[in-house]
Chain A
Amino acid sequence: MTLAVNNQSIPSRPRGGSFRRDLIGVAVIAVFAAAGYILFPDNLALLTRILAVALLVLALDLVTGYCGVATLGHAALFGSGAYAAGILSAHYGINDPLLMTLGGIVAGAVAGLLCAVVMLRAHGLPQLVLSIALIYLFHELANKASSWTGGSDGLSGIMPDPVFGVYEFDLFGHTAYFFGVALLLIAFVLLRLVVRSPFGMLCRGIKEDPLRIRAMGASPNAALAKMYVISGAVAGTGGALSAISTQVVALDALSFTQSAEALVMLVLGGTGSLFGALAGTLIFMLFEDYVSAANPFHWLTMVGVLLIAVVLFAPKGIYGTAAAYFTRRGEANR
C-alpha cells in the first residue's frame, strides 16, 4: 500500500554504472546552472532562491521519498537553518559565509532530531498532524522571540563577508549564485552516496515493510531519526543559503505554506529520486514566478488542478514518469 515510487533499480546495477549516473547528474546540474546564468543574468536572485528551495525539497525527499514519512512541516528545518545563519551574523558578528552555512547545517540537524523525536511516536494521520503542529510551534516561537529573530518584521542586519575573503557578495547576486550552485552540487553528490549506501537501502526497506526490518534485527526508528538528522543538515544548508543571499530572514521561512509548497514540488517532480526533487523545484518555481505575477489566485487554482492531475495521471511525478518511459523504450530497442 505504499506509494509506488521505487522506480530505480540502483542496487542491481554494477557500481560503475551508478558512478556514471552521478557524473551525468553533476554535469546536468552544472549545465542548467550555466544556462540559467547566461539566459537570466538579471534574475539571479530568483535562481538563487530556487537553489535554496531545491535543497529543502531534496531534504524532504530523503524522509518522504526514501523513508515514507509524510510530513507537512519540513520548513521547520529549513527555517531553523536560515535563522541560525542569520543570528550568527546579526547578533554575534560571525560573518564568514562558510561558518554561517555551518551554523545553518548544525541548527537544521538539531531541529531535524527534535522533529524526529516527536514525529516518530505516531504513524499515519496523527503523524501528519504532529508535523503540522510542529511547524506552527516553530513559527510561533520565532514570532515570539522577536529580540532574536526580529519577529514578524524579519531578521535583518546580515552582512556576509566575501567568500574566502576574495569574492564579495555583490548587488547583482553573482557570488551568491555561484555559492549556491557549489552548495547544491556538494549536497547532491553526498546525498547520492547516502541513498546508495547500505544505510540508504535500509531506509527504503523501512518504507516498504517496517515489520520485516524489525524482524531482521534493525531498529526502524533509529534509522529514520538518523535520516531525519541528515535531512535537517541539508535543509539547514538551504536555509543558510537563503539567509546569506537575501540578507534577511522572514517568518515565511518557517511557515506551513513553505512546507506544503515543498511537498507539492517534490510530488510534481517525483518522490524517491533526487533528480525528481530537483526537476520539480525548478519547474514549480519558474511557473510560479511567471503565473503568480499575473494573478495569485489563478495561480492557486492552477496548482490545485496540477496536483489533481499529477495524482491521477502521473503518480510517479514528472521525472519518474519520464524516466520510466525512457527505460521502457530503451529496453524495447535492446
Chain B
Amino acid sequence: MQTVFSIAIDALAYGMVLFVISIGLSVTMGLMRVVNLAHGAFAMIGGYIASYVARDLGLGYAVAVIAAVVITIIIAIPIERLLYRRIYGQPELTQVLMTIGITFCIIGIANYAMGPTLKTIPLAEPLRGSVDLGFRTISIHRLFAIICGLAVALGLWFAIEKTSFGVKLRASVDNAAMAAALGVRTEIVYAISFAVAVGLAAFGGVVGAELLPVEPYYALRYMVTFLVVVSVGGAGSIPGALIACLLLGAIDTTGRYLMPEFGEFFFYLAVIAIICVFPRGLAGRVK
C-alpha cells in the first residue's frame, strides 16, 4: 500500500510538470496545426535563464521564474515572426524539419553559451525541505509543482471557457476562416496563444527542473515525451492533455519503480497501444 501511494504521489508530480510544459504545445498544435518539435527547447531556455538569474545573479526564485517566462517569450517572438509564419499550413514533414532545425540550433547555441554541464536552479527558502504526508515524506518542491500544475489547468480552463478571448480562441480552433469572417482577429489570437504557450513552456521548464534537469540535450531528450503526451491526449484539448499526462506519468513512474531495468519500454508500448485504439488521441475530435 505504501508503495502504491509513493508511486501515486511521484506520478502526480511528474504528470503535472509534463502537463505545464506540454499544454502550450497542445494548444498551438490544435490551433495552428504546427508540429512544433522546438517546444522543449523553449522550456530549456526558460530553465537556463532561471538558473542564470537565481544562481549567477543571486536574485530570488520568484524573480527567476518571472524573468524566465518574460525573456523566453521575448526570444520566441522573432522566431515566430521569421520562421514559424512560413510553415503554417505546410505539410507535416516540412514543419518537422524546420522545428528540428530550430531545436538543433538552440541546443548548439545553449551549449556554446552555457557549457555542457547540468544547471541547477536554487530554490526559494520556503520550497526547500520536505513535508510529512503520514505515509511518506515528500519534498515541498514536488508539492509546489503539483499545485502549479493544478493552477495552470484551472487558469486555462477559466480563460478558455469563461472569457471572451476564450470564445474567440475556440472559434479559431474550430474554423479559422469562418472566425476571421465573423470579425475575430485570428492573427492576434494566434500571436497571444503562441506567447502563452511559450511562456508556459518556460514556466514548466523552471518548475520541473528538479525532475527534468536542465542541460543542452534537454530539448532533444524530452521533445519526444512532450510530443507523445500531446498526441495521446489529442491536440488542442486541455482535459485530454491532463488525462494523458497523468496516465503516462503513472505508467512511466510505475515502470521505473517496479521494473527499472526495462527503462522506457512500457511507456512506449502503452503509447503504441493507446494510439492504435484512439488514433486521434484520448479526447481528439473527428475533423
Contact = CB atoms under 8 A, between A and B. Distances in A.
Contact of B92 (A124, A264, A301, A308): A124
B1 interface: no
B32 to A, nearest CB: 13
Interface string B251-273: 00000000001111100110110
A122 to B, nearest CB: 4
B276 interface: yes
Interface stretch (B48-56, B93-101, B186-194): B93-101
Contacts of A300: 104-105, 107-108, 111
A122 B93 contact: no
Contacts of B22: none
B272 A125 contact: no
A143 B87 CA distance: 37
Interface residues of B, number: 49
A182 interface: no
Nearest to A271: B93
B108 A137 contact: no
A315 B94 CA distance: 8
Contact of A307 (B89, B97, B109): B97
A1 interface: yes
B275 to A, nearest CB: 5
B268 A125 contact: no
Highest count of chain B CB atoms <10 Å: which of A2, A134, A304: A304
Highest count of chain B CB atoms <10 Å: which of A144, A263, A308: A308
Contacts of A121: 275-276, 279
Contact of A1 (B89, B230, B263, B279): B89
Interface string A110-134: 0000000010011111101110111
A126 B224 CA distance: 12
Highest count of chain B CB atoms <10 Å: which of A1, A130, A133, A297: A133
B86 interface: yes
Given A300-B107, A303-B104, A140 B272 contact: no
B184 interface: no
Given A144-B262, A301-B108, A307 B93 contact: no
B280 to A, nearest CB: 7
A284 interface: no
B285 to A, nearest CB: 13
A132 B35 CA distance: 14
B89 to A, nearest CB: 7
Contact of A3 (B29, B91, B235, B269): B91
B62 interface: no
Highest count of chain B CB atoms <10 Å: which of A1, A2, A306, A311: A311
A141 B268 CA distance: 11
A140 B232 CA distance: 21
A78 interface: no
Contacts of B89: 1
Question: What is the interface of chain B mostly: helix, strand, loop, or mixed?
Answer: helix
Contact of B224 (A256, A308, A310): A256
A137 B235 CA distance: 23
Contacts of B29: 125
Contacts of A256: 224
B242 interface: no
Contact of B96 (A72, A140, A303, A312): A72
A308 B228 contact: no
B66 interface: no
A196 interface: no
Nearest to A124: B92
Interface string B73-101: 00000000001001101111110111011
Interface string A267-278: 100010000000
A298 interface: yes
B101 A303 contact: yes
Contact of B264 (A3, A140, A297, A312): A140
Interface in A62-85: 64, 70, 72
B91 to A, nearest CB: 5
B92 A297 contact: no
A1 B279 CA distance: 21
B227 interface: yes
B172 interface: no
Contacts of B271: 129-130, 133
Given A140-B264, A307-B101, 17 more contacts: A1-B90, A3-B94, A70-B96, A121-B275, A125-B235, A128-B35, A128-B231, A129-B231, A130-B272, A137-B265, A140-B268, A305-B105, A307-B97, A308-B101, A310-B97, A311-B94, A311-B97
28 contacts: A1-B90, A64-B93, A70-B93, A125-B230, A126-B279, A128-B35, A129-B275, A130-B272, A132-B228, A133-B268, A133-B271, A134-B268, A137-B272, A140-B262, A140-B265, A143-B263, A256-B224, A263-B97, A271-B93, A297-B116, A300-B105, A300-B107, A301-B105, A301-B108, A304-B101, A304-B105, A311-B101, A315-B94
Q: Which 4 A-B pairs have the closest CB atoms?
A: A301-B108, A304-B104, A307-B101, A304-B105
